Structure 1
Amino acid sequence: MNIRSIVNKDNINLLNCESEPIHIPGCIQEHGFLLGLAHDSLLIKYCSENVPAFTGFTHLQLLGKPLQLLCSAEQEDMLRAFLAAASFDQRQPFVFTINDVKYNTKPHISNNTIILEFEPFPDGTLDMPNLYKQTQQFVSYLNDAQDLKQLCQSIASETRSITGYDRVMIYRFDKNYNGEVIAEAKRDDLLPLLGHNYPHTDIPAQARALYLTNMLRMIVDVDYQPVPLYTIADEQQEKHLDLSLSILRSVSPIHIEYLKNMGVRATLTISLIQDNKLWGLISCHHYSPKNIPHYTRLSALLQGYFFTSQIRVRQAADEYNYAQLIEHNIQPVLELMSGDNFIEQHFENPLLREAIRASGFVIVLNEVVYRNGNVPPDEQLFPLLQWLKQYSTSGHYSTDHLVEVYAPATDMSDTVAGLIYHTLDSENKNCVIWLRPEMEKSINWAGNPSKAIVMDAAGARLSPRKSFELWKEVVKCYSEEWVTPELTVAARLANSLQKQAHLADIRREEKRYKELAAKLEAANAELENFNWISAHDLKEPLRKIQLFASRTFYSEVSLDIYKDSLVKIQLAASKIQLLLDSMLSFATMSKTNEEFEKINLNNTLTQVIGKYRKEINAKEAVITSDALPSLDVLPFQAEQLFSNLISNSLKFSKDDTPLKLAIRYHRSPQYHIITFKDNGIGFQNKYADIIFKIFQSLNKNGPQSNIGIGLAICKKIMDNHNGTITAEGEEGLGAMFSVSFPT
């Protein structure tokens, strides 16, 4: 039988310890022994080398053998029942008796291996903790604690009372996993570590991951000699055994050296987990070797569960109280926002920034910048605004360390070290920002964090730092951290300001519409004036002509001739009146006060087609169109342009052929070009220029209303747009009109 060690011999040092496989060390601590059993047969697959000291058998004698070699059949059956129980909890102990010695055995499953860790009772007893008393004591702490920090101190003191360790600390992580001691209970002769900070490198990522998997870890004596694990060499056998849930698991030699440098001989560590993340640790230190019974460990672990259950409650209570205070502060601002023109009239209200303890506040609305409080100058603010527009793809962003992502912030930390940003529209043109300046602070590190790795005296190897004395660091370019209630209220204020911005836009639109209405009213007044002039200067002579024509009935000319003359005179008079009306329409094209506006020409086309739906259906016309652009145009004139061109195609379509009108778009470097091509009666191409002149119609036999004004108006519209209109025709085959708007 080929027996091999599974000790992980990867060369780990301080330069690559972040990748150290600490969950598969292949060895254990020496105060107990370990067996790994096949899941079905309970044959021994793994065995620790120190098994003779506890059982009298060597690992060579046990590997591949049944468990009954060490225990009775009755105990094996009890173990099978324990493992098969539906409520099997891998953290519960199973009491084993070997050679009349009782062991706490912590069974758990790793892949397909049942791992049994055997630990002799440290004090020879199996005393259950007084859970009622412990729970009662914790409830007392809850009632007495004014805040989370005070509760932490009570938990530290109670944990020390339960376990007897020389020092118990509550250790809290920040967002970067740097840790701070926020509560401490210790022997009176020990120097305090309360308030000391430890860099994230002291607990690397894979160690934090193990704390999430196994909430309790214990080192009985840092001077222990790691005990190798052995297995039978087999191709199907796992190369490594995952000991993530093992209490006996041997720890990293780098961590052992770290503890020795601190003067610590034994530790107990309990994870504090919140929202599936490592919130902190209960860290117990002893300055001599120390082992505690299984149920004492569980009592300490229970303290961790008690405390973890209160983290969210206490934090939520603190946030709620602060949120209520902010809510009270912003009520006057929200009341002001119910009125008109809030941004223009009240942007300097100090509550806009003071409500969330900001020092500066900026609103950008329609390219106007409104400042409130301590705000950087334009040469710093405008590049920052442009950067935020590009960087904050979600429309909002907050930080307490701007220089980390925006290098120019180094030069404006007196006004902007941290900020909250919200956009007020989908195009990021309008926005609101709250600013906080740099807040220099001292961090009390347990030793210089930049010297976490040092060279030994001989210069032969790297080792963890040996000094844990207080080392102060002054941190710059950080603002005070934004807390959840402040971020929530900032978002709420941004939403209210967004509504105010939209209301301001609506008011501007209303103003514009009123101006347009006034222009229309003025145009109508001018039109009425034209009508009055036409009525008195032209229509009156026409009525006299009609009167004289009527007297011809009394002459010697035949009655039929007189009637025919009268009809022609009346038609001529009607024609003159139509010309006058057309002249008036043409004149308005030259005197427009309409403003250019960017509009979607697809919408304009849809409106015009809707207006001529009846005629289109009557002609059985088919109109197709490319997607048209959005252009800066005079909206009414653009609609009239499309209307005249479509009307022209309908008017000059063939009687016996359904009209087909194709509207196409393409762009040249200088122009947006839209063409209207139909299959109507067409015209001779030599008249392509004449048809745009006023009162020039090629179809003299057409309807009386066809006086040659529509295309002249189209040309005037394109002149107003600094564009052109051209025509191409072929008699009997159709015509094409091209309008070109400059790019």
Structure 2
Amino acid sequence: MNIRDIVNRDIVNLTNCESEPIHIPGSIQPHGFLLGLTKDNYLVEFCSGNCAVYSGLAPEQLLGKPLAAIFTDSIVNNFRQYANADVIDSAKPFVFTINGTLFNTTVHESGETLILELEPFPDGTLNLPNLYNQTRTFVSLMEKSSHLIELCGEIAKETRSITGYDRVMIYKFDQDYNGEVIAESKRDDLNSFAGQKYPHTDIPVQARELYIRNPLRMIADINYTPVPLLTIDNNADKTNKSLDLSLSVLRSVSPMHIEYLKNMGVGATLTISLLQNQKLWGLIACHHYSPKVLPHYTRLSAMLQGHFLTSQIAVRETAEEFEVSQGVEKALVASLASLHENEDFIGAHFQSPELLRLANASGAAIYYQGKLSKNGSCPADEALTDLMSFLANKHPTHDFHTDRLLDIYPAAEPIAKRAAGIIYHALPSGANDGILWLRQEKIETINWAGNPDKAVLPNEEGVRLSPRKSFELWMEVVKNKSLPWKKSEINAASSFSYALQKHINFHLIRTQEDKNRILNEELKTANKELANLNWISTHDLKEPLRKIQIFASKVLDREDPDLSAQVKDSVERMRFAAEKMQLLIEDILAYSKAGTMEKVFETIDLNLILGAVVAELRDNVEEKNAIVTAGRLPTLKIIPFQVHQLFINLISNAIKFTKPGTNPEIRITASVETGADISYEKASRLTSYHRISFEDNGIGFEKEYENRIFDVFQRLHPAHKYPGTGIGLAICKKIMENHNGFIRAHSEPEKGSVFSLYFPA
């Protein structure tokens, strides 16, 4: 039988230190032994090299053998029932007996392998914890500790009492995973680590991931010799076997970490993860300065302390945040009240101290319509204006906050004493407009446990990495940074900014309403004057024109030999001009009525209106020998007298503008079209239209006039050939607008014209 180990012998260097495979070391710690079984038939596929020490059976006597070859049938059957449960209870290990020695055995799956980790009872007895007393003690601690830091201190004391370690620390991570000792319980003769920080490189990414997957890890003796895991070397299997020990309690740890602990002078450790929302919030780190094997159930008691603390982290942090938020909320309410009560808040009330308190800021500034207003401690105007311009360009539509402005704005260093941190909200009312809360610089002295820049170094040979050897206090002074903004402060600033924007918008609307009201009054006056002018032009002018026509007719009817032919011709011209002017006035009146008369809609059959129009134009039709044909027209909701006028104008035009020697032919059709099929800017794509078309065989016109012909007084032909005022089609356009529709024309010279009316369906 060929037996080989699966030890991972990769050397940690500068290129792979961030990805060291610490979950597959291929070895374990020697205070227990490991068996790896196939899940289907319980054959021993892996075993640790020290199995003979505990079981009396060498690896070659175990590998490839069934579990029943090691233990009695009754023990194996009991184990099968334990291992085949829906959920293996890791808190209650299975107990194997070997040669009279009891072993706590934790069981978990690793891929297709069932891992058994057997640890002898350290003192030969099973000491179960008193969970009632432990829980009662925690409740008492919880009641007497008002803040999270106080509770952490009490948990550290209680955990040390339960476990007997020389030092117990509560270790909290920041957003970059630098750790800080926020509470500690220790032997009196030891130096304190409280308040010291450790760089994120002390616990690399892969180690943090393992802390999340496996919340408890024990190193019983820092000076242990790793025990290799062994398996049968199958020549047919050319792959390198490995075993994922992420959930293992005996897993051997990284040589880098062992060296790190040796440099600290530590002899044994226990580490318990503190999780919040599936993220690593911190650790309970226990140190002992000599070897220490902690029994399984004592480990569980220590882990229960971690669960107790974890249950309180979110509650206590929320409570502490609530204390801050109460003051913030009070200031926000006062600021909003002031904003709503004062129309000119920016000019007259921006200096309110409540505006600073709502974000616990040291200063505030607003840039609005080219004017800068300040409150509290602020940089000079020019520096603030430049900052506002930068923020408006970088964050034009959303808010932004930071406790280190220098990271995004290189020009912030000269103003950091007053503006190390900011909360910014853009105000879309104008270019560069925005509101800013400022927080002054808070110089921080960080007590690092050793130089963080030398946390990991090449060893003397330069072959692999070594952790730092010095843990002497190393102080770093951090400048250009403010206290971090709390969530309640950020939310309050956001609420006020939103209210301010509404206030500005309301003020703008009020101003615009005032302008519109003045314009409306001016428009009413102009319309009144226009109505008077219209009355004069359509009524007062009619009377003198009528008299001119009467007197001209009388002169022309007299047989007066004293009147020369030249005089009679002049009088005739005068009478013709008066008639033309009267016709123009009547058309202007008709156009005015089309836009101003009350719009009373009725549901009418258009065939009835067309019949009435043709009857009214019978004399014109017969005189020109015109032919009018029409298909079936729809029933629509219309203004009857206006559509009557519309049909008269279109049919009259078709009869009038006829080629000499040609009988007019007018064809009227109806159809339904969707707005999407009509290539015209006034057509709504979501609306269907009734299209009524008037097609004639008249003289037509050029394409360039298809829109211009609907303008007032627009004529395309000389008056002596085709008399008229040029208002008829403008009236048609106005009537269609009154019906929320439109009119279009299509024509070619000498090929006739098509006028189409579009009524919304």
Q: What TM-score does the superposition give when structure 1 sets the normalisation length?
A: 0.78
- Matched residue, 1:230: 230
Among candidates 295, 306, 309, match of residue 308 of structure 2: 306
> What does residue range 23-62 of structure 1 map to in structure 2 within 5 Å?
23-62=23-62
Moved more, 652-661 or 133-142: 652-661
Q: Is this contact kept in 2: 1:48–1:59, CA < 8 A?
A: yes
Which residue does the alignment assign to 2:423? 420
Alignment of 1:141-290 (within 5 A): 141-234=141-234, 235=237, 239-290=241-292
Equivalent-residue separation in structure 2 for 1:256 and 1:691 (angstroms): 95
Does the aligned pair in 2 maintain the 1:441–1:476 contact within 8 Å?
yes
Larger radius of gyration: 2
Residue in structure 2 matched with residue 316 of structure 1 by the alignment: 318
8 Å CA contact 1:35–1:46 kept in 2: the answer is yes
- Aligned equivalent of 2:741: none
1:354 corresponds to 2:374: no
Choose the corresponding residue for 1:706, options 726, 735, 746: 726
Structure 1 Cα separation of the partners of residues 695 and 480 of structure 2: 73
RMSD: 4.3
Structure 1 residue 123 corresponds to structure 2 residue 134: no
Q: Determine if contact 1:45/1:232 at 8 Å carries over to the other structure.
A: yes
Q: Which one-letter code corresponds to 1:140 in the other structure?
A: S
**Is structure 2 residue 577 aligned with structure 1 residue 577?**
no
Aligned counterpart, 1:516: 519
| 3-state secondary structure, aligned to 1:412 | helix
* 1:628 paired residue number: none
Cα 1:159–1:414 change in 2 (3 A) is same
Change (3 A) 1:349 1:702: farther
| C-alpha contact (below 8 Å) 2:388/2:432 kept by paired residues | no
- Residues 538 and 589 in structure 2, CA contact (< 8 A), matched pair in contact too: no
Shift of 1:143: 0.8
Instruction: Summarize the Cα distance change of 1:428–1:246 in structure 2 as closer, same or farther, 3 Å threshold.
Output: farther
Cα distance in 1 for partners of 2:393, 2:291 equals: 58
Deviation at 1:324, TM superposition (A): 1.5
**Residue type matched to 1:575 in 2?**
L
Using the TM superposition, give the Cα deviation of residue 183 of structure 1 relative to its aligned residue in structure 2, in angstroms. 0.3
Q: Which residue of 2 aligns with 1:602?
A: none
Structure 1 position 498 matched with structure 2 position 501: yes
Q: Please list every run of 5 or more consecutive structure 1 residues that lacks an aligned counterpart in the other structure.
A: 558-563, 586-609, 621-647, 666-677, 715-726, 737-743
**1:448 matches 2:459:** no
Per the TM alignment, residue 685 of structure 1 is displaced from its structure 2 partner at its CA by 8.9
* Offset, 1:71: 1.7
One-letter code aligned to 1:730: P
Residue 656 (structure 1) aligned to one of 662, 667, 691: 667
| Partner Cα distance (1:394, 1:255) in 2 | 48
**Pick from 730, 734, 742: which aligns with 2:749?**
730
Corresponding residue number in structure 1 for 2:89: 89
- Show structure 2 runs of 5+ residues with no match: 561-571, 594-600, 611-629, 632-648, 655-664, 671-676, 683-693, 735-745, 756-761
Q: Normalized against structure 2, the TM-score is what?
A: 0.76
State the match for 1:98 in structure 2: 98
Sequence identity (%):
48
Q: 1:491 to 1:686 in 2, by over 3 A?
A: closer
CA shift for structure 1 position 454: 3.8
Question: Structure 1 stretch 93-102 or stretch 155-164: which is displaced more?
Answer: 93-102
Q: Which residue of 1 aligns with 2:701?
A: 683
Give the secondary-structure state (helix, strand or coil) at the position aligned to 2:242. Answer: coil
* Residues 138 and 308 in structure 2, CA contact (< 8 A), matched pair in contact too: yes
Conservation of the 8 A alpha-carbon contact between 2:159 and 2:302: yes
Instruction: Give me the whole-angstrom Cα distance separating, in 2, the residues matched to 1:553 and 1:574.
Output: 20
What's 2:657 paired with?
A: none
Which moved further from structure 2: 501-510 or 335-344? Answer: 335-344
Is the deviation greater in 375-384 or in 27-36? Answer: 375-384
Distance 1:25 1:433, change over 3 A: same
Contact 1:13 1:254 in 2 (8 A): no
1:10 equivalent in structure 2: 10
Q: Does structure 2 conserve the Cα–Cα contact (< 8 Å) formed by 1:93 and 1:107?
A: yes
Say whether residues 1:395 and 2:398 are aligned partners.
Answer: yes
Q: Distance in 1 between matches of 2:325 and 2:368?
A: 28
Matched position secondary structure for 1:656: strand
Comparing 692-701 with 388-397, greater Cα deviation is found at 692-701
Cα deviation, 1:531-590, whole Å, max 9, x if unaligned, reads 587589855633644775898999899xxxxxx9999898545335358879999xxxxx
| Aligned mates of 1:310, 1:415 — CA distance in 2 | 36
Change beyond 3 A, Cα 1:352–1:304: same
Deviation digits for residues 162-199 of structure 1, max 9, x if unmatched?
A: 00000000000011101110000000000111000001
Contact 2:701 2:749 in 1 (8 A): yes
Give the corresponding residue for 1:717: none
Higher mean alpha-carbon deviation, 64-73 vs 40-49, is at 64-73
Give the secondary structure class of the aligned counterpart of 1:184.
strand
Cα pair distance change 1:346/1:657, threshold 3 Å:
farther
**Quick check: 1:167–1:185 contact (8 Å CA) kept in 2?**
yes
Per the alignment, residue 718 of structure 1 pairs with none
Deviations 1:94-134 (A, max 9, x none): 11111111111111111121111111111221010111110
Match for residue 739 of structure 1?
none
Given that 2:439 and 2:483 are in contact with CA atoms closer than 8 Å, whether structure 1 keeps it comes out as yes
Match of 2:22 in 1: 22
Post-superposition shift, 1:52? Answer: 1.3
Partner in structure 1 of residue 293 of structure 2 = 291
Cα 1:222–1:650 shift into 2, 3 Å: farther
1:91 and 1:108 in contact (8 A); partners too: no
Give the aligned partner of residue 464 of structure 1: 467
Secondary structure class of the residue paired with 2:352: coil
Give the CA deviation at 1:691.
8.2
Q: Deviations over 1:693-733 (max 9, x none)?
A: 9856235477855259969x99xxxxxxxxxxxx9973446
More off after superposition, 419-428 vs 337-346: 419-428
Instruction: Give the Cα–Cα distance (whole angstroms) in 1 for the partners of residues 304 and 512 of structure 2.
Output: 66
Do the aligned residues in 2 keep the contact of 1:695 with 1:709 (CA within 8 Å)?
no
Which residue is equivalent to 1:591?
none
> For residue 698 of structure 1, what is the amino acid of its counterpart?
L
**CA distance in structure 2 between the aligned counterparts of 1:434 and 1:96, rounded to whole angstroms:** 66
Secondary structure, in 3 states, of the residue corresponding to 2:90?
A: coil
Query: Cα 1:649–1:111, aligned 2, differ >3 Å: closer, same or farther?
Result: farther
